[in-house]
Structure 1
Amino acid sequence: MHPLIEVPALDRLLRRQTPVVLLDVRWHLAGPPGIESYRRGHLPGAVFVDLDRDVAGPPGPGGRHPLPDPVVFESAMRRAGVSRDGLVVAYDDADSMSAARVWWSLRYFGHERVRVLDGGYRAWVEAGHRVSDAEPEVKPGDFIANPGRLPVLDAEGAAELATAGVLLDARAAERYRGEQEPVDPVAGHIPGARNAPTSGNVGVDGRFLPPELLRERFAKLGATDALDVGAYCGSGVTAAHEILALNLAGIPAALYVGSWSNWVTDPSNPVATGDG
């Protein structure tokens, strides 16, 4: 299934009363909690999913957003109405940064029919479609979490890939270079990693660039379907966005879920700064 769905296509499905589970995963690294945005207005019938609580495990040595326990994730998705074979559409404010982590997580745990609303809530509103502030009654789903359906990396695997393949660092350039680090205790990047900020995957409207432009972008960084490719970020959220963009470009890639927040917990792991 194509990982994206456009606003007109989603509107048609909803008008036909096609069963769709809508997951509102608005989340802000700094700012008001996503639930506040949800309560002010969301797509009709959408259920709020808390990225920190439902889509990631507790922060710790594994990183700030490690993989959740399968039982916890399964329970959260069932509460949201996700069934084994039902269509799921996830969205956030606009750029799919957090929606992509839900897309990746559902795919990792074995759900095939999941898509991201390209352009998110903003695109829906700008198209003139109505929103709601009512929380829907949800029929619990029967989703079963079966982990391991997508490739992942640990710190050792990421280090190897940075040498033997292509490891993309999805953070902003100033964090990659080590000039700024607003969240983690150490600044810099994994030696050998190549900087590919996720902001470059989308246009000013928050929608993903066309596949041919994404292929060009990644090819300039040496990432093609002829090599092993992986991605990381600060805590494994925006790197899932990079995985989705690579998917659109036809390039399979593995996610280092723990990312930089896991890498720096081991003082023996080397740190590079500058442009690499």
Structure 2
Amino acid sequence: MKKILLIFSVMLFVIGCNSKPKSPEKVSKKVEIVSTRKVKKSLNERGTVVIDTRSYDEYNGWDIKGTGIQGHISGAYNLPAASLKHEIIEASLERKGITKENKIILYGDDTSMSEILSDKGYDVSVYEDGIEEWNKKKYSMEKLPRYESLVPVSWVKKLLEGKEIPEYDGRPIKVINAGWGENGKFHKTGHIPGSYYVHTGWFEEGPLWNRVSDSAIKTELEKLGITKETLVVVYGDDPMPAARFAIICKYAGVEDVRLINGGWKAWQEAGYTSEVGIDFPESVDDFGMKVPGNPDIIIDLPEAEKYLKSKKSDLVSIRSWKEYIGKTSGYDYIKPRGRIRGDKWGMGGSDPWHLEDYRADYGTYMRPYNEILKMWDDLQIDTDKKIAFYCGTGWRASEVLFYAQVMGLNKVSLYDGGWKEWSENPETEDKILKGEPENLNEEKY
């Protein structure tokens, strides 16, 4: 009897090991599966939208899985499957202008959201063959023009491990964790292993919080062991200070500056190991060139006035609506309220410390670039013109400027002084407006 029970137990074990679990990505029978031909035809049908459920980084153009596929189906929106755990699907669709009146076609690694959307009353189907088949047929695809400058955490991890990776030419590396605070408290409690801390206060100074002198920028970069040939990869708990430092590096003349998409939060979400404490890199004797090597990326007050006077350029405010119309200055150290006469509002966020209009649906990733372009188009912001972004003192505008650059815009810059400088300067303090504009973004200087 014991022998029979033993044989039976072994049989159950073997059967269990050889049986295949049901895939969690299996599409429900109640959701229609559509062909490549149907998807191609649907792209030209009014009311039909295609949604890519892969990660923000894959959508942008990173070949994370090594398949040789870069980017997404032309015209597709991006709503990562990770949105499911953040419970923001309906809010995300509303933000993209997608309603229950639309026909939705999903594709990607995990289309399990098809059932959820179907249960909520959306007309949804699934392109099961996905981007692999689409790419195989050489149909039209798109990607973020300079996606390699906005890097995924998986790429950074391999970079620091010394593995062979794409989009890297072997130059010396510095991974920088940028934020505010002389003692680097937030860095000490946890950071990407091997990364170094930068206090943005080393590169900007009060009372205007403009950048420090060119000679001081050069000295500070040399202290950090950064030369013009260093690959500088920047991140932070918040993308704003990270972008602020990244733009300073570009201004100085660093040839290769990258921003980690999602920053420290994305690293943690990926479950990668962290490091505590604080170390400082070995300094270098010389940056390698005169600073600034790229002066046009930052403009000052005289140039800002020229942008306002010219029909070929715009000064774009990256501030909250309440700041823009003068209900608040946004800062306890800025008293004047309002906007620069003749500028354009480029949206921003709920307050000076948030930038929701340029962030993705969850985390601190860049918002899908096609959504930003549509937002600008709706605001009558002409990307063919020269554009200088400004905010209160430079952080928010730096982040948007970096995104504009990775989107392929070449004639973009930062007005460093921003609202604080303009509103407190005797020559321009009277050239401001308050209240809601009669016609948004049509006011003259």
Q: Does the pair score TM above 0.5? A: yes
The correspondence of residues 106-185 of structure 1 with structure 2, limited to 5 A, is 106-136=249-279, 138-141=281-284, 142-144=286-288, 145-147=290-292, 149=294, 150-163=296-309, 164=311, 165-181=313-329, 182=331, 183-185=333-335
Contact kept, 8 Å, 1:214 with 1:248, in 2: the verdict is: no
C-alpha separation in 2, matches of 1:55 and 1:199: 25
Q: Does residue 236 of the first structure (1) align with residue 394 of the second (2)? A: yes
Could you list the per-position Cα deviations for residues 94-152 of structure 1 after superposition, in whole angstroms to 9, with x for gaps in the alignment?
4x111111111111111111111111111111111111113235222342452151333
Could you list the per-position Cα deviations for residues 176-222 of structure 1 after superposition, in whole angstroms to 9, with x for gaps in the alignment?
11101223120011012222214311113110022222222222223
1:266 to 411, 425, 432: 425
Contact kept, 8 Å, 1:38 with 1:133, in 2: the verdict is: yes
Q: Does residue 26 of the first structure (1) align with residue 179 of the second (2)? A: yes
Distance 1:166 1:220, change over 3 A: farther
- The residue matched to 1:229 in structure 2 has which SS? strand
**Corresponding letter in the other structure for 1:26:** G
C-alpha separation in 2, matches of 1:179 and 1:227: 30
Instruction: Provide the TM-score with structure 2 as the length reference.
Output: 0.56
- The residue matched to 2:373 in structure 1 has which SS? helix
Contact kept, 8 Å, 1:214 with 1:245, in 2: the verdict is: no
C-alpha separation in 2, matches of 1:151 and 1:87: 19
Q: Does residue 7 of the first structure (1) align with residue 156 of the second (2)? A: no
**Corresponding letter in the other structure for 1:185:** K
Q: Structure 1: where are the runs of 5+ without partners?
A: none
Structure with bigger gyration radius: 2
2:198 to 23, 27, 49: 49
Q: Does residue 69 of the first structure (1) align with residue 69 of the second (2)? A: no
C-alpha separation in 1, matches of 2:259 and 2:253: 16
C-alpha separation in 2, matches of 1:106 and 1:257: 14
C-alpha separation in 2, matches of 1:225 and 1:180: 29
Distance 1:136 1:266, change over 3 A: closer
Contact kept, 8 Å, 2:177 with 2:197, in 1: the verdict is: yes
**Corresponding letter in the other structure for 1:77:** L
RMSD: 2.1
1:224 to 382, 386, 392: 382
C-alpha separation in 2, matches of 1:170 and 1:137: 33
C-alpha separation in 2, matches of 1:38 and 1:157: 36
Distance 1:100 1:174, change over 3 A: same
- The residue matched to 2:211 in structure 1 has which SS? coil
C-alpha separation in 2, matches of 1:152 and 1:47: 25
C-alpha separation in 1, matches of 2:246 and 2:280: 23
Distance 1:263 1:237, change over 3 A: same
Contact kept, 8 Å, 2:316 with 2:344, in 1: the verdict is: yes
C-alpha separation in 2, matches of 1:100 and 1:34: 20
**Corresponding letter in the other structure for 2:222:** R
In the alignment of these two chains, the number of paired residues is 266
Q: Does residue 201 of the first structure (1) align with residue 358 of the second (2)? A: yes
- The residue matched to 1:90 in structure 2 has which SS? strand
Post-superposition offset of 1:225: 3.4
Instruction: Provide the TM-score with structure 1 as the length reference.
Output: 0.88
Distance 1:209 1:160, change over 3 A: same
Post-superposition offset of 1:92: 1.0
**Corresponding letter in the other structure for 2:297:** P
Could you list the per-position Cα deviations for residues 22-58 of structure 1 after superposition, in whole angstroms to 9, with x for gaps in the alignment?
111123xxxx777111111111121111101x221x3
- The residue matched to 1:97 in structure 2 has which SS? helix
- The residue matched to 2:184 in structure 1 has which SS? helix
Percent identity (aligned): 23
1:59: which partner in 2?
A: 206
- The residue matched to 2:179 in structure 1 has which SS? coil
2:187: which partner in 1?
A: 38
Post-superposition offset of 1:250: 2.4
C-alpha separation in 2, matches of 1:159 and 1:220: 25
1:188: which partner in 2?
A: 338
Contact kept, 8 Å, 2:336 with 2:423, in 1: the verdict is: yes
Contact kept, 8 Å, 2:401 with 2:412, in 1: the verdict is: yes
Distance 1:275 1:112, change over 3 A: farther
